[in-house]
Amino acid sequence: MLRDRYDCELSTTSLAARDAYVTGCDLLLSANPGGELLFERAIAEDEAFLLGHAALARSLQGIGRPQDGKACLARAQHLVSRATDREKSQFSIVENLLDGRSTVALEEIYRHVQSWPRDAMALAPATGVFGLIGFSGKTGREQAQLEMLQPLATHYGNDWWFLGALAFSEIEQGLLDVGRAHVEMSLRGNSRNANAAHVSAHGYYESGDVSDGIRFLRDWLKAYSVGSPLHCHLHWHLALWALQNGNLDDAWSIYHASLRPGVCIGPQINRLTDSASFLFRAELAGEPSDDTLWREVSDLAAELFPDAGIAFVDIHAALAHAMAGNGDLLARLTEHPKGLTGDLVASASRAFSAFARQDWQGVLSELQPVLGEHERLGGSRAQRDIIEYTMACALMKSGREDETKRLLYSRRGRALVGGIPIAGVV
Ligand SMILES: [Fe+2]
């Protein structure tokens, strides 16, 4: 039988189909564009190639076409009975993913890797801060991510995708040295692995290594086209560093060129969360609030995510609605939050509402229960800094400077506090 790059057997006898599939998988696993075209080619070469259909479905979901992905899976249903057990299991994982049965999909992945630990395409949806574990809403999910990946390391050796995924988990757990070493190995294996470039950015961020981070990312982005999966988010990282360095013109240039609604092309979740996050962090850094820009983001949230339910998305939508003065949409999140993390979403939403009213005591009391549990919201530590920074800003505005510094030291250490872009914190 033909095999993929991870030595997994494939039910196709077409070399052309296999080669297109493997190249498509590498594009998908490295967050580069064009995977769906390769998977379509694989299917054109061999219509009976089940995993070609599964990979195409995932790829379509990733570019905001989940309904097309579901249709693709439906067309391939008749092929399942002839597939191997591994292929059947992977196909089922993708079906559950696209149908929104996240808990079932994650349970299936845990079982799948017991039998086929090197099946990267099956494992990948469980990894990353937006993955099935990342968005599980559970306390301890960062540790759970690491505990899932570490035992699998022996099966992957120097594989660039796995090292990048492992490194992200390590860096998010504060294992900076080993995480940064692993991500460098990943980039040596595939210098165009955008996931690894992203993890590197987090390594620089968590280390407070701003100048080197900017140099690395600016150079790496030269060959990463607009519209690529991480183009928007990597520019968010650059914009944050520009704020941190006090280069406000640079920060706003990046916002208007790569993050602003109507300009940003990329995954829906990044289009909302990166724009809302930047605008708020610019304000925390002392920039004046711009009603027009906030309304754009609030409108985008209403358009892209009319139904609540993903906590990380919901808190950014609430932020945009609060800052734009869009009380009706905000009320849906403060009064009727959905999902396992609805309690935190409601509290954070009320806190942002209080912030917009400059009710600093309200911010402090509403955010207090979120502060110790924001891991459950999903997203990276860098993204969730918005919670601590909001708290710190409210403490500063309340004249409680010592408490502000204590809060920031607990997250970043005394040496880094001066580099945090919150107006008045020195
Ligand atoms: Fe990031």
Question: How many residues are given for the chain?
Answer: 426
If one counts every other C-beta atom within 10 angstroms of the C-beta of residue 30, the result is 22
Residue with tokens 């301890």: 140
Identify the architecture of domain 2-126 in CATH. Alpha Horseshoe (1.25)
What pLDDT was estimated at residue 411?
A: 75
pTM score above 0.85: yes
171 alpha carbon – ligand 1 mean position (Å): 11
pLDDT in tens, 214-269: 999 999 999 999 999 999 999 999 999 999 999 999 999 999 999 999 999 889 99
SS3 325: coil
Residue 109 has pLDDT above 90, yes or no: yes
237 alpha carbon – ligand 1 mean position (Å): 7
393 alpha carbon – ligand 1 mean position (Å): 22
236 alpha carbon – ligand 1 mean position (Å): 8
Average pLDDT over residues 162-190: 97
202 alpha carbon – ligand 1 mean position (Å): 6
Question: Could you give the CA distance from residue 164 to residue 180 in angstroms, rounded to a whole number?
Answer: 9
Residue with tokens 């391939």: 76
Higher pLDDT, 414 or 87: 87
Position 420 confidence tier, pLDDT thresholds 50, 70, 90: confident
Domain with CATH 1.25.40 in the chain: 2-126, 133-207, 279-419
399 alpha carbon – ligand 1 mean position (Å): 32
Tell the burial category of 114 from Cβ atoms under 10 Å away from its Cβ (0-12, 13-18, 19+): exposed
What pLDDT was estimated at residue 416?
A: 64
198 alpha carbon – ligand 1 mean position (Å): 6
Residue 106 has pLDDT above 90, yes or no: yes
63 alpha carbon – ligand 1 mean position (Å): 18
270 alpha carbon – ligand 1 mean position (Å): 10
What pLDDT was estimated at residue 309?
A: 87
What pLDDT was estimated at residue 86?
A: 97
Residue 67 has pLDDT above 80, yes or no: yes
pLDDT in tens, 137-175: 999 999 999 999 999 999 999 999 999 999 999 999 999
383 alpha carbon – ligand 1 mean position (Å): 7
What pLDDT was estimated at residue 369?
A: 92
Residue with tokens 């054109």: 44
Residue 154 vs residues 3, 149, 151, 162, 301: alpha-carbon distances, Å: 20, 10, 7, 11, 42
- CATH number for the domain running over 279-419: 1.25.40
Exposure on the CB side of residue 233, measured as CA atoms within 13 A: 24
DSSP state at residue 150: G
Contact 408, 208 (CB under 8 A): no
382 alpha carbon – ligand 1 mean position (Å): 7
Exposure on the CB side of residue 64, measured as CA atoms within 13 A: 13
What pLDDT was estimated at residue 116?
A: 98
376 alpha carbon – ligand 1 mean position (Å): 17
95 alpha carbon – ligand 1 mean position (Å): 27
180 alpha carbon – ligand 1 mean position (Å): 14
What pLDDT was estimated at residue 320?
A: 98
The token pair at 2 is 């033909």
Position 426 confidence tier, pLDDT thresholds 50, 70, 90: low
199 alpha carbon – ligand 1 mean position (Å): 7
Question: Could you give the CA distance from residue 287 to residue 184 in angstroms, rounded to a whole number?
Answer: 35
356 alpha carbon – ligand 1 mean position (Å): 26
168 alpha carbon – ligand 1 mean position (Å): 10
Residue 418 has pLDDT above 60, yes or no: no
**CATH fold of 133-207, please?**
1.25.40
Q: Quote the mean pLDDT of the chain.
A: 95
Residue with tokens 């917009």: 356
214 alpha carbon – ligand 1 mean position (Å): 14
The token pair at 307 is 């139904």
Backbone angles phi, psi at 332, to 5 degrees: -65, -30
SS3 359: coil
384 alpha carbon – ligand 1 mean position (Å): 10
Contact 13, 209 (CB under 8 A): no
Residue 417 has pLDDT above 80, yes or no: no
420 alpha carbon – ligand 1 mean position (Å): 17
Question: Could you give the CA distance from residue 120 to residue 61 in angstroms, rounded to a whole number?
Answer: 18
pLDDT in tens, 266-324: 899 999 999 999 999 999 999 999 999 999 999 999 999 988 789 999 999 999 999 99
pLDDT in tens, 314-342: 999 999 999 999 999 999 999 988 888 99
Residue 69 has pLDDT above 70, yes or no: yes
